[in-house]
Amino acid sequence: MREIVFDTETTGVNPATGDRMVEIGCVELVNRCPTGSEYHAYFNPERAMPSEAEAVHGLSSIFLSDKPLFSDKCAELLDFIGDAPLIAHNAAFDFGFLNAELQRCERDPVCLSRMICTLVLARSKHPGAKHSLDALCTRFGVDRSARVKHGALLDAQLLAQVYVELTGGRQIGLSLMADEIRADTATQEVAVSLHPAQRPVRAPRTFAPSLDELAAHAQFIGTMKEPLWATIPAA
């Protein structure tokens, strides 16, 4: 199964009041394993970068001034993500900005049914614990030493590792017989759920000895002196 882990950086927290996406990073997973295929882009937000936002991700208005507009890269981004489920940390935030940018380009929004939120997964799996990306990296032993500031691609790479741990760990995908095991288990569950009269009848297994085996057994019995069963009177 193909999935896309992504992260965004923005000028603020609310696209409805004019905040814009300035960076996106995407990491492709197939069967929970990174394929090495990634997508990364910066965007000119066509507005000034607030100092509070710049302090978080380090992207200045000067740095972004010569970057393409989101509309220039929109088709390329949509081609990369395809119809795969999209995974993000606090996914409603990232989906909100992505769909706001798509709306500006008169493109259809990404359906929220494709959204997988690792923040929700983490809260469900570890209630009461800290659930920031930094905290989850520490919990699962993911190296975040390169994360001096927020960066969309780096954060997506870290989140991909966290997501794998949240959904079963590195053992996922290592079972070469996983599909066969699931199919066999499903068959067994269906059979058990049926009424006894509806269950499929298995042909009886035959374990009758061959003539050679009977002869060898008789020869072996003949070597025994005064066997116990010979003293038992017939019924």
Q: What are the catalytic residues?
A: 150
Distance CA 124, CA 219 (A): 68
Give yes or no for a contact between 192 and 62, defined as CB atoms under 8 angstroms apart: no
- Residue 227 tokens read as 């066997």
Sign of the Cα pseudo-torsion (142, 80, 70, 94, in order): negative
Instruction: Return all residues near 135 (Cβ < 8 A) that are at least 6 apart.
Output: 129
**Of 136, 86, 83, residue with least CA distance to 116:** 86
